[in-house]
């Protein structure tokens, strides 16, 4: 998410120092800030997928391909593997309240929000989410904007949907201080989700995150531009963008055996589909390292372009929101910050090196008030594809037919 507006800084600092606000306390400001929750109804029919339970509002079934099933669209060819990336997981109050209704009074259930896209996520060899906020290990002190703390059932739904790992470096990583970092990573460890970008201890911060995907070691690094003016509880709680450090970390992870290296960057200007000058400078500085193969960006809350660089490496500047509900205002009830995209990267061996051979996309859209992430309707799809292709990258449409 972007910088917290000045009118909210005092409240943000208070919440961060307190750890996070108790769920249900407070009220919406008279003038909603840019990150406030949305309440408008999308003027489009709801998804047809039945979500399970009476009236389709209870916990979903395993989905079209089952908990460990796979779709065939965009599958990697022999000798290759696929990596999948999605945008911001950002549980505003309205999203959390909807998850409580889906759970029927027994905690929270975010699975109905992901049931439509779960088969696509599961189809990849390795799927990575971007967890922008802390996750509570025991569902105490839950909160939305400006200092977030999501229920642990969100992580449970991420695992159910097929995510193998999540990047955790964002401007909201330390919204709940060191305790929030610990709770988030403890929850992911309990559920078997790998993570990168934040750390509970100095030793953990020094460890390298390397996945084994179809027998190939894939290194993953993650960093954020800042923390909304909040000082990190320790120097190692969250990785901050520093191109020189990123290049050194990339060299270190390559030396440790990674054959393909991904860098996740939380950066850019909020709600601007054009890469900022800062994004371009950072991407160029990071890509000055021969050890980095792919950059995946987050933070803008809208979809941004994909760039294939002259040397054949790729920068995905921003994949938009994935599960979030930010404020909408008349007359635009279907703004671009409800758009997202699933990006599937096929990595292929050429000579002695693994390289990006193909980049596919599936535009998504967050419905309201259901908060279901569904395949993008035409108006959303059109602007997402235009944004993705703005820099002329040769992309492939992986939308299921």
Q: What is the pLDDT of residues 102-155, one digit of tens each?
A: 999 899 999 999 999 999 999 999 999 999 999 999 999 999 999 999 999 999
User: Is 0.75 topped by the overall pTM?
Assistant: yes
Q: Report the C-alpha gap between 173 and 159 in whole angstroms.
A: 20
pLDDT band at 329 (very low <50, low <70, confident <90, very high): low
pLDDT in tens, 173-186: 999 999 999 999 99
Q: Which of 83, 121, 87 is nearest to 344 (CA)?
A: 83
Q: Show the tokens assigned to 95.
A: 């999203």
**pLDDT at residue number 74:** 53
- pLDDT category at 337 given cuts 50, 70, 90 is confident
Q: What is the mean pLDDT of the chain?
A: 85
- Please list, in sequence order, all residues whose beta carbon lies within 8 angstroms of the beta carbon of residue 236, skipping any fewer than 6 positions away: 199, 201, 202, 204, 205
Angle made by CA atoms 357, 73, 60, in degrees to the nearest 5: 130
Q: Where along the chain do its domains lie?
A: 6-397
What CA–CA distance (Å, rounded) separates 294 from 287? 8
Secondary structure E strands in 186-313: 194-196, 209-213, 216-224, 260-266, 294-298, 306-308
Q: Quick one: 6-397 is in which CATH superfamily?
A: Metallo-dependent phosphatases (3.60.21.10)
| Cα–Cα distance for residue pair 104/118, rounded to 1 Å | 22
Residues 6+ apart with CB under 8 A from 45: none
Give the mean model confidence (pLDDT) for residues 165-192. Answer: 98
The answer to whether residues 114 and 62 touch, using CB atoms and an 8 Å cutoff, is no
β-strands 260-266, 294-298 pairing:
parallel
């Amino acid at each position: 998410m972007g910088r917290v507006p000045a009118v909210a800084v005092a409240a943000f600092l208070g919440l961060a120092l307190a750890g996070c606000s108790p769920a249900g306390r407070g009220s919406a400001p008279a003038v909603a800030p840019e990150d406030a929750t949305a309440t408008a109804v999308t003027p489009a029919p709801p998804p047809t997928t039945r979500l399970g339970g009476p009236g389709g509002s209870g916990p979903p079934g395993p989905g079209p391909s089952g908990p460990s099933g796979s779709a065939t669209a965009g599958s990697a060819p022999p000798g290759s593997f696929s990596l999948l990336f999605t945008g911001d997981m950002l549980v505003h109050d309205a999203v959390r309240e909807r998850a409580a209704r889906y759970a029927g009074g027994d905690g929270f259930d975010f699975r109905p929000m992901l049931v439509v896209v779960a088969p696509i996520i599961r189809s990849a060899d390795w799927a990575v989410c971007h967890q922008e906020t802390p996750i509570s290990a025991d569902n105490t002190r839950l909160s939305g904007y400006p200092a977030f703390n999501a229920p642990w059932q969100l992580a449970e739904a991420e695992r159910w949907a097929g995510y193998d790992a999540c990047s955790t470096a964002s401007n909201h990583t330390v919204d709940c201080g060191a305790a929030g970092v610990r709770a988030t990573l403890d929850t992911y460890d309990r559920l078997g989700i790998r993570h990168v970008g934040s750390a509970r201890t100095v030793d953990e911060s020094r460890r390298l995150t390397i996945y084994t995907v179809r027998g190939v070691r894939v290194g993953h690094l993650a960093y954020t531009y800042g923390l909304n003016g909040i000082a990190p509880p320790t120097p190692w709680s969250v990785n901050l963008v520093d191109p020189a450090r990123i290049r050194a970390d990339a060299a270190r992870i390559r030396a440790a055996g990674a054959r393909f290296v991904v860098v996740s960057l939380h950066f850019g200007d909020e709600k601007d589909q054009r890469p900022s000058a800062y994004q371009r400078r950072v991407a160029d500085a990071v890509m000055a390292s021969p050890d980095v193969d792919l950059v995946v960006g987050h933070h803008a809350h809208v979809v941004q372009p994909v760039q294939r660089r002259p040397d054949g490496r790729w920068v995905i500047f921003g994949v938009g929101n994935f599960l979030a509900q930010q404020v909408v205002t008349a007359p635009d009830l279907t703004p671009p910050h409800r758009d997202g995209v699933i990006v599937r990267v096929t990595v292929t061996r050429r000579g002695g090196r693994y390289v990006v051979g193909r980049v596919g996309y599936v535009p998504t859209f967050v419905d309201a008030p259901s908060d279901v992430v569904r395949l993008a309707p035409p108006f959303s799809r059109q602007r997402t594809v235009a944004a993705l292709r703005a820099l002329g990258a040769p992309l492939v449409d992986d939308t299921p037919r």
